[in-house]
Structure 1
Amino acid sequence: MKNTNEYKSPIAALLWSVMMTGFGQFYNGQYIFGALLFIFEIAANGLSSLNMSILHSFHGNTQQAHDVFDHQWGLFYPSSYAFSIWQAYNKAIVINCQQEKRDYPKETYLTGFFILFVIGMNLGVYYHHHLLSGIPFFSSPIFNGLSWGFLFGITGHFAEKYIKAKRNIGKD
């Protein structure tokens, strides 16, 4: 019998989703939703040849990493990956509010980070031969996508904090 009043750590949910799309949902008890995200991850990963591109990237074979990677399927991956992480984190917060019989937060968390993370990853994956192509690390669609994703994501996080701070100043 499962304890329904079990605290769900938002950070643990986030980290499980970082490990594999859908695992944060499993942690939160959303088994069907987690399974659907996991199946989509397996399909997008396989159809885009993401793992082969990662392997070639780690070996420094940036041209092979580019050639093996199917961009049409690969551009789906950042969205599902980021959504899984964002949703698991925010759902853990909601679960804890339900258990403590508190009102749900009126906002979501890390939204700016993940929206711009997806945009940055997609731009980095798609334009990896054009942006900083002289540097081998950035010639890989995977490493370039992750680098631009984190850069955009951090920018989005600070923009979201700035907007929320401005909104709260106006309420005083």
Structure 2
Amino acid sequence: MDNFKNLDNQYRRYKAHVSIFGTTQFHLRNPYIIAWWSAAFPGFGHILLNKYLRGLALFMWEVFVNHQAKINLAMVHSFSGHIELAKESLISRWTLMYIPVYLFAIWDSYRTTVDMNKLYLLAERENAPINSFTIGALEINYLDKRNPVMSVFWSIFMPGLGQLYIHRIISAFFSLTWSIIFLYFSHLLEAVQLLFFGEIKRATEVLDKQWLLYMPSIWGFAIYEAYVNTVESNKLFENEQQNFLKKNYQNSQFRVKKGKVVG
């Protein structure tokens, strides 16, 4: 670790950093997909970019202002064809506050993705060394290959478990905490239990629609984020291993010319 820290002033950009809280890395992302996640739920796009503080600020803003404006409740009424009821549900003084920050989250995540893609290409060209192993009093983390299917599998059971599987502690804590909050206030599990007993009407009545509509977003995001980061972590592991083998085992006279190996 000390040897790696001494490299800080030698290289301008790094592709990744392995810490006890997870692996943070640059990789190419589609700006439109990141912007779409910000549109689905402000903050998600920034969390996908590993910008946790900005993402959490936008996420908490979305939950608070959306709840005050009753936007989710109005959406449920709109989906049910009750347009007038949807209009009555909205609280205008909160709704008008909601729009500017919502648009900013989409725009800023798109802009940041474009910038980070450029930085990734520069970092890839510089190919600075990265630490592949870290150990501390609380945790151990290291680059390793994981199965993307298992990340999806555990995320389907509970948002955050897929992130724990690939050692992304911050996003795992975020997903688990907010999933618990949404499940509790939406009464979703209570409704599922009533469905098992065949009490469909009571199951529908017990649901809090305002909180329920957060669930598809957090569940879908957790599955997507766990899968993508598993794939990218596997690529990073292979890249680091490739560089290590080249540096320590490849003959210095090795050359490739016109498709032929010369050594």
Normalising to structure 1: TM-score of the pair?
0.55
From 84, 98, 122, the equivalent of 1:63 is 84
Q: Distance in 1 between matches of 2:110 and 2:53?
A: 17
**2:38 corresponds to 1:17:** yes
The answer to whether residue 114 in structure 2 is matched with residue 88 in structure 1 is: no
Give the distance between the partners of 1:5 and 1:64, measured in 2 at CA. 46
With over 3 angstroms needed to count, the CA separation of the structure-2 counterparts of 1:5 and 1:50, relative to structure 1, is closer
- Of the structure 1 ranges 16-25 and 61-70, higher mean CA displacement relative to structure 2 is found in 61-70
Task: Give the distance between the partners of 1:47 and 1:55, measured in 2 at CA.
Answer: 15
Larger relative helix fraction: 1
Q: Secondary structure at the match of 1:75?
A: helix
Structure 2: 5+ residue stretches without partners: 1-17, 124-263
Q: Which structure: larger Rg?
A: 2
* Residue 97 in structure 1 maps to residue 103 in structure 2: no
In the alignment, which residue of structure 2 is the partner of 1:74? 95
Q: Select which of 55, 60, 78 maps to 1:34.
A: 55
Residue 29 of structure 1 aligns to a residue whose secondary structure is coil
- Please tell me the residue identity of whatever aligns with 2:82: N
Unaligned 5+ segments in structure 1 are 103-172
RMSD after superposition = 1.7
Cα-to-partner distance string for 1:43-82 (whole Å, 9 max, x where unaligned) = 1110001111111122222222121110000112222221
Percent identity (aligned): 26
C-alpha separation between the residues in 2 aligned to 1:29 and 1:5? 9
What is the TM-score of this pair, normalised by structure 2? 0.37
**Aligned residues of 2:24 and 2:50 also touching (Cα < 8 A):** no
2:26 and 2:89 mapped to 1: Cα distance? 47
Matched, 1:49 2:70: yes
Within 2, Cα distance between the matches of 1:39 and 1:27?
16
How many residues align? The count is 102
CA distance in structure 2 between the aligned counterparts of 1:8 and 1:42, rounded to whole angstroms: 26
